[in-house]
Amino acid sequence: MSNFPNSPRPLKAALILVDPGTGTPATPLVIALQYNPDSLSRSLQIKSVGEGGDHAEALRLKGPPVETIKLEAEIDAADQLEHGSDAANRATQQFGIFPQLSALETLAYPTSAQLKANNAAADSGMLEIVPMEAPLALFVWSKSRVVPVRLTELSITEEAFDPALNPIRARVSLGLRVLSVDDLGFRHKGGTGFMDYLAQKEKFAGMFVQGSLAASGDPRLPT
């Protein structure tokens, strides 16, 4: 924490689970990252019409790119015991960082209730079982970047344990895929979230102060 009283309060990156139908929290589950990662890796795979086709199609895009995000987060019980709430402290003292790790892992699992319901439907002779829908995850990285995502990769390295073998320090690697309107459609709450995300990009792009042709050596442009 800064020693300067007027310094801005650092924001926490987070994953928030919301109901995919209503956009409201499916459960009061906000998974804030304990420490903001030092770096964030993003990759955009462009959806172009393709190479070697009609010349009129060379500059056309099929839709938004496939954007992937990778980051590493640290979870440490010692810091939680120092700065956490009373309820969090009690849970940490008893179970270490199992609650935080389990909350992240729920992104990778259907719920036990969904599994039981599908099993009951199969036992009753239902021929087609509808795949289970997960809550919509929103990745929050500042007020200007709130984007719907799907977890694609989760790796956990537990680095220290208490006497009862509860993990007390871990490093977590997350892989996320941004879900666009191509994935969700325009009417889905996640599709609306993606369009807001894209609008923010365009807003910031409009703030960019472009360079001059003179600074580039006055190149000859096609006419």
How many CA atoms within 13 Å lie on the side-chain side of 97?
A: 27
Q: What is the full DSSP assignment across 79-97?
A: HHHHHS-HHHHHHHHHHTT
Q: What is the pLDDT of residue 22?
A: 64
Check pLDDT > 60 for residue 25.
Answer: no
Q: What is the pLDDT of residue 119?
A: 87
Neighbours of 134 (CB within 10 A): 18
61-67: long-range pairs with CB below 8 Å, 24+: 63/180, 63/181, 63/182, 64/180, 64/181, 64/182, 64/194, 64/198, 66/177, 66/178, 66/180, 67/42, 67/43, 67/177, 67/178, 67/180
Q: By C-alpha distance, which of 104, 103, 133 is closest to 117?
A: 133
Lowest mean pLDDT among 39-53, 154-168, 199-213: 39-53
C-alpha gyration radius of the chain: 23
Q: What is the pLDDT of residue 70?
A: 97
Check pLDDT > 90 for residue 21.
Answer: no
Which strands, in side-by-side order, build the sheet including 14-18? 25-32, 14-18, 136-140, 146-161, 167-178, 66-76, 41-45
| Gap between the Cα atoms of 97 and 150, Å rounded | 23
Q: What is the pLDDT of residue 85?
A: 62
Check pLDDT > 90 for residue 41.
Answer: yes
Domain borders along the chain are 14-202
| Gap between the Cα atoms of 16 and 30, Å rounded | 5
Tell me the sheet residues that pair with 139. 15, 147
Mean pLDDT on 1-11: 50
Report phi then psi at 57, rounded to 5: -100, 0
Pick 42 or 114 by higher pLDDT.
Answer: 42
Per-residue model confidence as pLDDT tens digits over 106-144: 889 888 888 888 888 888 887 667 777 788 999 999 988
C-alpha distance from residue 99 to each of 88, 103, 130, 181 (Å): 9, 6, 30, 33
Q: What is the pLDDT of residue 59?
A: 79
Q: What is the pLDDT of residue 84?
A: 58
